[in-house]
């Protein structure tokens, strides 16, 4: 269990270090162009799911955070069971990455509202004397990676979105989102190795042969 825990720890360390730096050095909406116009650090926050998707209202936020916590308990149990059964190490790595990503965003949702001041129009302070910008479990997830690699407009003949602006890749995301995505992609790409088909039940065949020796 040491290696999965190390993976989770390292992902959380990198994720929270990046978020802490962005939160305490950028005001909301500020951006820094790392490589031209296709790799940008763009500070934004969201109340909901991965890649900036939203979930309605305060009750929706509370429900989503609670659901995430329950999901993490389920993932921890599944990971423990995989290690106990000596599952393929690649699958253990994949689940560890998914777990680490989920935990990284949960930390934001649960604690950031209490730990940080508001980022609107100013750089947020860590542990401000006047208190944080929200209550426990109502924090916003910090996102910063933006890759608008291709920008343009849909052609006029294109259904529904004709002439509208097109950006790939539009969502702003964080290191935790990347960890979850890599874990899921690994499972999809290597599912045959991770979940090999079990051989036919030879015991049933042997029993049938004993009962019907003529066959």
- Has 81 been annotated as catalytic? no
Given a contact cutoff of 8 angstroms between Cβ atoms, the answer to whether 4 and 83 are in contact is yes
Catalytic residue among 15, 81, 108, 143: 143
Please classify residue 113 by burial: count the beta carbons closer than 10 Å to its beta carbon, then call 0-12 exposed, 13-18 middle and 19+ buried.
buried
Report the distance separating Cα 139 and Cα 98, nearest Å. Answer: 21
- Has 143 been annotated as catalytic? yes
Catalytic residue among 15, 108, 177, 203: 177
Residue of 170, 169, 178 whose CA lies nearest to 102: 178
Q: At what angle do helices 175-189 and 89-107 cross, to 10 degrees?
A: 150
Strands 31-35 and 141-146: unpaired
Measured distance between the N- and C-terminal CA atoms of the chain, rounded to whole angstroms: 49
Helix (H) or strand (E) holding 34: strand 31-35
Q: Point out the residues that are catalytic.
A: 143, 177
């Amino acid at each position: 269990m040491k290696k999965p825990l190390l993976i989770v720890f390292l992902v959380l360390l990198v994720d929270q270090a990046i978020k802490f730096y962005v939160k305490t050095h950028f005001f909301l909406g500020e951006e820094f162009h790392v490589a031209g116009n296709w790799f940008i650090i763009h500070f934004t926050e969201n109340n909901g799911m991965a890649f900036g998707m939203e979930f309605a209202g305060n009750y929706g936020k509370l429900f989503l955070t609670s659901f995430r916590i329950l999901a993490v308990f389920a993932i921890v149990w599944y990971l423990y069971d995989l290690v106990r059964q000596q599952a393929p190490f690649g699958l253990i790595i994949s689940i560890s990455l998914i777990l680490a990503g989920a935990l990284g965003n949960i930390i934001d949702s649960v604690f950031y509202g209490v730990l940080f001041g508001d980022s609107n129009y100013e750089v947020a302070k860590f542990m401000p004397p006047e208190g944080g910008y929200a209550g426990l479990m109502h924090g916003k997830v910090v996102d910063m990676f933006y890759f608008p690699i291709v920008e343009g407009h849909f052609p006029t003949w294109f259904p529904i979105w004709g002439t509208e602006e097109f950006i790939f890749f539009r969502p702003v995301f964080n290191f935790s989102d990347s960890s979850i995505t890599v874990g899921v992609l690994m499972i999809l790409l290597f599912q045959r190795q991770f979940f090999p088909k079990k051989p036919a039940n030879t015991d049933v065949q042997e029993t049938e042969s004993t009962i019907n020796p003529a066959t």
